Structure 1
Amino acid sequence: MRISERLTRIKPSATLAVNTKAQELKAQGREIISLAVGQPDYGTPEHVCNAAKAALDEGFTKYTPVPGILELRTAVAEYYAKFYEAKACADNTIVSNGGKQVLFNLLMALVNPGDEVMIPAPYWVSYPAMVQLAEGKSVFVPTTAEENFLVTLDSLEEARTAKTTVLILNSPSNPTGCCYTQEQMESIAAWARKNNIFIISDEVYDRLVYAPATSVSLAKTWETYPDTIAIVGALSKSFCMTGWRVGYALAHEDLIKAMSKIQGQSTSNINSIAQKAALAGLSGSWDIVDEMKTSFVRRRDIAYEIITGWGAQCPKPGGAFYLFPVLDQFYTEDAPDSASLCTKILEEAGVALVPGSAFGDDRCIRFSYAVDETTLRQALSRVGKVLTGN
């Protein structure tokens, strides 16, 4: 079978072996707890589901405009006005199949063959593959646990070359949960403007931020410099709509048109019913977000206390629902890296985790605390016995 060269250059997911092993163990009757899932354990809010049901009953099942229905695009613009006081209009927005398609469309629209895209590491797993599909080159900018896995201006400047055209920022971060301050974000944006580097700001977790950290965005900076920044958001996390596939972007009108051209030739509009559901989410009650935040803070604190009790170095996350501890002190001859240690934990403890190698830092392992507190304690107790014997 002949497969295109561009796909032969894309590496398989580093989590594939662990996920396959987890399914094998489940098939054998083993009880497997997953702390690998990147989605809230809450259900989609009732008013969002009701809007979808109403759309079905009203026969809202035809094609829509490629970038989304006007009401929803307007609601996206109003979201940034409500939370970040940024003035925008529907022409500055597009709705896509989750934040992932927004990111893909952006990179396809912005990156020419050979362009360098700076990606602070650790990073979300799909960034490098998307850059590669856009025929760009990923340049990874290392960070440290001591600095909360946040990139610095010095490290960015050291990695910059004449071919650097795009920087991807992610706050709160997947996989670390760490957050930039508004001042840090704006300093990076000023540095990028000075060097003619476009910023893609991935803010998918922007509503899931825990005190003393605060929700930050480059939306207001975008308003002043709209041709230098694009912002990515989604309803997957804040409204527990991972399977609905609704993401959106705030960007310059010309960039939105370019993304619409790509989307028009690939997926066309996203699901019409999901658009009505998303409109209800953005324009309705945000109570579920406050409820989740209260729960996630408790879970984070439980997991953080247990994990650091193993002697692991782990920045305390200010958002999202992940911890990313440094666990290389537990590597052995039989488990010399994050993937093999995850396999060992899965086999011996029945707990599925994601190796740090998938995120560009093989010293670490990602733990999701988007499970109930009882399950979380049970899973971490099992992992602790494998790592420390206690």
Structure 2
Amino acid sequence: MIEKQTLSKIGQSASQNPMRIDLELYYEAEENRFHPTENPSGKISMNVAENHLCWEMLRDRIQQVTRENDIPEWVASYTDPAGAPSFREATASFLSKFLTKSPMPAETLAFSGGATSVIEMTAFLLGNPGDTAVIPAPAYPVYSGDLGALPGLKRYDLQTHQELAELKSGVSINTDLLQKAKDEIEANGSIFRMLILTSPDNPTGMIYSYTQLERLADWCEQNEVHLIVNEIYGLSQIDISHPELSNDYPKPIEFLSFGKLMAERKSPWLHLWYSFSKDLGISGFRIGLLHSYHEALITGYRNAGLGHSISNYTQWVMQEVLKDDAFMEDFVQKSQKRLTDSYLIVVKSLRENHIPYQVSYGSLFVWMDLSQFLLEQTDSAQHDFWLKIYEETGVLLTPANGFGHQKKGLFRMVISGVDQETLKEAMKRLTKFFQNQS
């Protein structure tokens, strides 16, 4: 008897394709989590991009807000699907002060439940099924699902470099590469609909200079391509002036938010994504946003976004936290210091083990080159080596599969999801592993 298919084509695809290939091992590792005294041989998960470095600060502030304030009446009712007006105002003020350093009108913001929802919503409002989104490689693997599963957009991984050393002066993306990609995409019957940049980048930690952003914006406006910059790690910056790190930055790039350029041009082709998940370490709160001067896009987001809205209670709690400028300034400073300390623990160990790594300006990652240990430069050898690291050390890294880069043997380590003592234990285990490979 032939089993009748009861799912749609999208449903069939979703049931057969895991969101990411490392989730099963992640759940396994979390069930056997390392503890220095209670479980010293336990696993250490360093593959999921979470930031727990300053959670205790934010938790205490949230608890204070809920103790000292009555819940307003509007929280129990429907509100604007794009975000409650008071929450939009509080967020716009926060981002203007801490991220973009330029005015951000509240009416240019639209919210939904997490970064994934924002990417998905933006994709189906700007693109048509079969259109193409170009992303410099390596890049966040789950972009493929966010853009493709429901909106139906294709992902094009733009190869800007081969070796890490080529990124010393920044990401080598230019308009010639974009034009070549456009010609290839159109020759294959698709449309180059959007260019997506992440700054600071996932996984490399690189940033785009303001001059680069201006040139790329010029090209995109001229070619009617939507340029979207994802600044989800915009406040997760490394202190590159640290005396033990400064030599890695002989020609430092200054981070300037794309929001500044957007405020100058107010172009319907320029957009920014942000979420509180990474910089504030509250991925479970599910707060993502689109910033755009494209009025019809914001209106469309509101009209189509009811099913993606954020809980009013979450909006109220976070607006009260965001309005406390003194607290947020202290939080951002401490978070960046702890991130820098964690980054230093990792890169000092990599230096001692002669492991090449990408110098980072920000994000929650270290992107390292372990290609010297591969038996052969293939996807299968790369996958097997990732499993070998986990099986022999109990340290779970993010596999390179899905990042879209042509070089094999590059791996991502999340440095912000564990405390610094656990991070030191992970590097101790990895050091022993690397030495045994020689």
TM more than 0.5: yes
Deviation at residue 324 of structure 1 after TM alignment: 0.8
| Cα deviation digits, residues 317-375 of structure 1 (max 9, x gap) | 11012001111221237995333222211111111111011322343111111122221
| Alignment-derived partner of residue 137 in structure 2 | 121
Alignment of 1:69-84 (within 5 A): 69-83=84-98, 84=100
C-alpha contact 1:18 1:339 (8 A) present in aligned 2: no
Residue 341 (1) aligns with residue 341 (2):
no
Helix, strand or coil at the partner of 1:378: helix
Call closer, same or farther: CA 1:151–1:20 in 2, change over 3 Å.
Answer: farther
1:83-135: per-residue Cα shift (whole Å, max 9, x none)? Answer: 43433422211121112211111011111122111011111122111221312
Which 10-residue stretch deviates more, 208-217 or 297-306? 208-217
**3-state SS of 1:239 partner:** coil
Offset at residue 21 of structure 1 (A)? 4.8
CA–CA distance in 2 between the matches of 1:171 and 1:255?
23
| Residue 285 (structure 2) pairs with residue 244 (structure 1) | yes
- Gaps in structure 1 of 5+ consecutive residues: none
Q: 1:237 to 1:335 in 2, by over 3 A?
A: closer
Q: CA deviation at 1:75?
A: 2.2
Q: CA RMSD in A?
A: 2.6
Match of 1:64 in 2: 79
Match of 1:256 in 2: 298
Identity, % of aligned pairs? 24
1:230 maps to amino acid: H
TM-score with structure 2 length normalisation? 0.81
| Residue number among 4, 16, 21 corresponding to 1:14 in the alignment | 21
| Letter of the 2:410 counterpart | C
SS at match of 1:120: strand
Question: Which residue identity does 2:435 align to in structure 1?
Answer: T
SS state of the match for residue 123, structure 2?
A: helix
User: Which residues in structure 2 correspond to 1:190-209 (within 5 Å)?
Assistant: 190-209=218-237
How far, CA to CA, are the matches of 1:220 and 1:342 in structure 2? 40
Counterpart amino acid of residue 372 in structure 1: D
TM-score (norm 1): 0.90
The DSSP-based 3-state class of the residue aligned with 1:354 is coil
Give the whole-Å Cα distance in 1 for the aligned partners of 2:402 and 2:121: 22
Match of 2:249 in 1: none
Task: Supply the distance in 1 between the matched residues of 2:22 and 2:206 (Cα, whole angstroms).
Answer: 22
Q: Which residue of 2 aligns with 1:170?
A: 198
Over 3 Å counting, the alpha-carbon distance change for 1:363 and 1:8 in structure 2 is farther
Partner SS state of residue 256, structure 1: helix
Distance in 2 of aligned mates of 1:211 and 1:182: 19
Instruction: Give the match for residue 314 of structure 2.
Output: 274
In terms of mean alpha carbon deviation, does 365-374 or 317-326 score higher?
Answer: 365-374
CA displacement at 1:294 relative to structure 2? 0.8
- Distance in 1 of aligned mates of 2:269 and 2:281: 30
Q: Spell out the pairing of 1:188-227 with structure 2 (5 A cutoff).
A: 188-212=216-240, 214-223=254-263, 224-227=265-268
In the alignment, the residues of structure 1 paired with residue 33 and residue 379 of structure 2 have an alpha-carbon distance, to the nearest angstrom, of 22
Match of 1:380 in 2: 427
2:133–2:196 Cα contact (<8 Å) kept:
yes
Answering whether residue 154 of structure 2 is matched by residue 137 of structure 1, we say yes
How far is 1:314 from its partner?
Answer: 1.3
What residue in structure 1 maps to residue 331 of structure 2? 288
> What is the alpha-carbon distance in structure 1 between the residues aligned to residue 351 and residue 401 of structure 2?
21
Q: Give, in angstroms, the shift of residue 52 of structure 1.
A: 4.5
Residue in structure 2 matching 1:94, options 110, 133, 137: 110
Question: Cα distance 1:388–1:262, how it changes in 2: closer, same or farther (>3 A)?
Answer: farther
The gaps in structure 2 that reach 5 residues or longer are 241-252
Q: Where does residue 414 of structure 2 map in the other structure?
A: 368
1:250/1:209 Cα in 2 relative to 1: closer, same or farther (>3 Å)?
same
CA contact (8 A) 2:356 2:369 kept: yes
Conservation of the 8 A alpha-carbon contact between 1:102 and 1:249: yes
Amino acid at match of 2:153: G
SS at match of 1:314: coil
Matched residue type, 2:8: S
2:366 corresponds in structure 1 to: 323
Q: Does 1:158 align with 2:201?
A: no
**Structure 1 residues 69 and 40, CA gap change in structure 2 (3 angstroms):** same
Larger radius of gyration: 2
Which amino acid letter does the alignment assign opposite residue 222 of structure 1? M
SS of equivalent residue, structure 1 residue 380? helix
Q: Specify the SS of the correspondent of 1:140.
A: strand
Q: Which residue of structure 1 lines up, in the alignment, with residue 247 of structure 2?
A: none
Q: Are residues 136 and 37 of structure 1, via their aligned partners in 2, closer, same or farther at CA, if it must alter by over 3 Å?
A: closer
